[in-house]
Structure formats: structure tokens, C-alpha cells
Homo-oligomer: A and B are copies of this chain.
Amino acid sequence: VLETLENRHAHRDYLVRLDCPEVTSICPLTGAPDFGRLTVRYVPDEALVELKSLRDHLTGYRERAILQEELVNEVLDLLVQTLSPRYLEVSGEFNARGGIGVVVTARAGVPPELLAHA
């Protein structure tokens, strides 16, 4: 479901960070909407993710009842399957419910040293 672009600089390891502050889903326990911000960091191999298709995919969670931990892991799985990246990490920071906020961070691969700068 995600489209890709050719990475013309695949001879070099470099890092791409995507900031997606507009993510909303449905809490499966209460039925009320959740709101969060996803951050994707990856070192591309042959493919770059096309941003409009990523946005459209994230919009699909609008109607989905899903736990926050599972949303983050599911996005990670899809991106890894689509891009076969050298490294990929997804972090989701969700607004507080009942006075408690949640941040979930998952990754695939070994984080590169240059991650600190991005």
C-alpha cells in the first residue's frame, strides 16, 4: 500500500527522519479517539518511502480500533516490509489519557552512529 521512490544515493548510509504530528486512531477499550505524533527514522537501502502514500496510510488509522503499542509496531512492520531499509525506527508519542501519557519506540536493525544528530 506504500509507494516508494528510488534512492539514488544508495552508495552512502544516510538518515531520513519523518515527523508525522497528525495521527489519530480509536482506543479499543473506550471507543474514544487517541491522538499522537509518529516519528520515523531510517537509513534507506534501495527505496525511499513516498510521503503522500505514507500520509494516506496513516490516515487509515482514523477508523481503526487499535492499542498504541500495536499501532507503532504495525507501522514498523509495514515500513520494513516495504523498504527493506538498513535501519528503521518508529516512535509514537500519544496524548495523556487519565493523566498518563505514553511513548512507544520500536526499531529494526542496528541504530547507526549518526542517529544522534537527527
Does A78 sit within 8 A of B, measured CB to CB? no
**Closest B residue to A9 using CB positions:** B73
Interface residues on chain A, size class: 35 or more
Copies in the complex: 10
Contacts of A51 in B (CB 8 A): 97-98, 100, 102
Kindly provide the distance from the CB of A55 to the nearest chain B CB, expressed in whole angstroms. Answer: 5
Whether A118 contacts B100 by the Cβ 8 Å rule is no
Contacts of A62 in B (CB 8 A): 24, 33, 62
Contacts of A48 in B (CB 8 A): 69
Sample (6) of A-B pairs whose CB atoms are under 8 Å apart: A16-B103, A16-B105, A18-B100, A19-B103, A32-B55, A89-B114
